[in-house]
Amino acid sequence: SLAMDRRNGVAMGATSKRRFRKMTEKKEGSRADIYARITDRIVADLENGVRPWIQPWSAGHAGRRITRPLRHNGEPCSGMNVLLLWSEALARGFTSPTWMTFKQAIELDAHVRKGESGATVIYASRFTRTETDGNGGEVERDIPFLKTYSVFNVEQIAGLPDHFYRQLAPTIDPIQRIDHADRFFANTGSVIRHGGARAFYAPSTDHIQMPPFETFRDAASYVAVLSHEHVHWTADSRRVGRDLSRYAKDRSERAREELVAEIGSALICADLGIVPELEPRPDHASYVESWLTVLQGDKRAVFQAAAHAQRAAAFLHGLQPAEAAEREAA
């Protein structure tokens, strides 16, 4: 049988099909290597007792504004790239949040200093290819793809415009900053109840339970936990929609959802300019063990968790009146 290649309009014989299959397998293998390489790095961090999604909060930010990693145009990074660049910045001692490609530096009449090595980030997307099915009909196939490229921190680049090297403005007054967080969560419309010694989201009653504010070490710790529970809250089918039906029964599914909430909390705290808690929660030791099991068995798990976390954070931002007004204006 013949398969039609829509890109050049010629029929593919057996030899061409084998060549095409090998090319596809090579791409699939390359993509698997990316998942494995990045997952192995995160597993190594966890085995050393470090949760990579909160690394930036533990060093190098005293008196500096907390933020997500930024692109050369000032736009914040998202998803998995946030974790990768936070981890890279801490490991290499960078305090600037801004990153760009070699080409982007040249376009700004700057240059990467000799001997500097880039950090790996990923680009994930998909394209549609038209194929011929066994009955001779045309079908469209959605093909996901993943590739990596290198970026450099502005501290590795010489000759950039001055504003790239300026210190970010200090954080606003802590009390105002927490007030801002309170407004953020109030705008979500979630039901938050206080009492007891545990923080959790209850799907059956659709409410978030928090220990009394006074029991937390500080306000930032309270916000970090509240962010975590709000990520769980987004799982409801009326919001983002993640299946939590097996959360209580399946340890692996529980670990996956907690990983989503951990990463999502770090994203929200960064967006709010708040330093999350540094002291581990009592349940973190057991979760770390579960995360290691999940990540070692599924090289794509952390990518999926980061994507879910990004969607949850975006949903919560979408409930903010000011941000909704900006989207309408755009």
Predicted confidence (pLDDT) per residue in 45-87, tens digit: 777 776 766 644 443 443 445 678 999 999 999 988 988 898 8
In which region does residue 251 sit, left (phi positive, over 0), alpha (psi from -120 to 50) or beta (all else)? alpha
Instruction: Give the pLDDT confidence score for residue 6 in this predicted structure.
Output: 31
| Alpha helix positions (H), the chain | 14-47, 80-92, 102-107, 174-186, 219-233, 251-272, 284-297, 301-318, 321-329
% of the chain beyond a pLDDT of 70: 76
User: Which of 35-39, 49-53, 198-202, 308-312 shows the lowest per-residue confidence on average (mean pLDDT)?
Assistant: 49-53
Instruction: Give the pLDDT confidence score for residue 326 in this predicted structure.
Output: 62
Instruction: Give the pLDDT confidence score for residue 88 in this predicted structure.
Output: 86
Instruction: Give the pLDDT confidence score for residue 16 in this predicted structure.
Output: 47
The answer to whether residue 133 scores a pLDDT higher than 60 is yes
Task: Write the CA distances from 234 to 121, 243, 257, 319, integer angstroms.
Answer: 27, 11, 11, 11
Q: Which amino acid is at 244?
A: L
Task: From 154, 143, 142, 144, select the one nearest 118 (Cα to Cα).
Answer: 154
Instruction: Give the pLDDT confidence score for residue 57 in this predicted structure.
Output: 42
Q: How confident is the model at residue 253 (pLDDT cuts 50, 70, 90)?
A: very high
Instruction: Give the pLDDT confidence score for residue 61 in this predicted structure.
Output: 40
Q: How confident is the model at residue 205 (pLDDT cuts 50, 70, 90)?
A: very high
More confident residue, 18 or 257: 257
Burial of 243 (0-12, 13-18, 19+ CB in 10 A): exposed
Number of C-beta neighbours around residue 304 at 10 A: 14
More confident residue, 159 or 27: 159
Instruction: Give the pLDDT confidence score for residue 99 in this predicted structure.
Output: 96
Instruction: Give the pLDDT confidence score for residue 312 in this predicted structure.
Output: 96
Instruction: Give the pLDDT confidence score for residue 156 in this predicted structure.
Output: 96
The answer to whether residue 229 scores a pLDDT higher than 90 is yes
User: What average pLDDT does the segment 183-207 reach?
Assistant: 93
**pLDDT winner (highest mean) among 192-201, 211-220, 268-277:** 192-201
What is the residue whose two structure tokens read 């196939």?
Answer: 141
Instruction: Give the pLDDT confidence score for residue 325 in this predicted structure.
Output: 58
Q: How far apart are CA 312 and CA 235, in angstroms?
A: 8
What does DSSP assign to residue 210?
E
Residue 96 contacts residue 155 (beta carbons within 8 Å): yes
| Alpha helix positions (H), 115-241 | 174-186, 219-233
Instruction: Give the pLDDT confidence score for residue 32 in this predicted structure.
Output: 59
For 19-56, write each residue's pLDDT tens digit: 545 544 444 445 557 778 878 878 887 777 767 666 44
Burial of 264 (0-12, 13-18, 19+ CB in 10 A): buried
The answer to whether residue 327 scores a pLDDT higher than 50 is yes
User: What average pLDDT does the segment 193-214 reach?
Assistant: 91
User: What average pLDDT does the segment 101-112 reach?
Assistant: 96
More confident residue, 156 or 95: 156
Q: Taking all residues of the chain, what is their mean pLDDT, rounded to a whole number?
A: 80
Instruction: Give the pLDDT confidence score for residue 256 in this predicted structure.
Output: 92
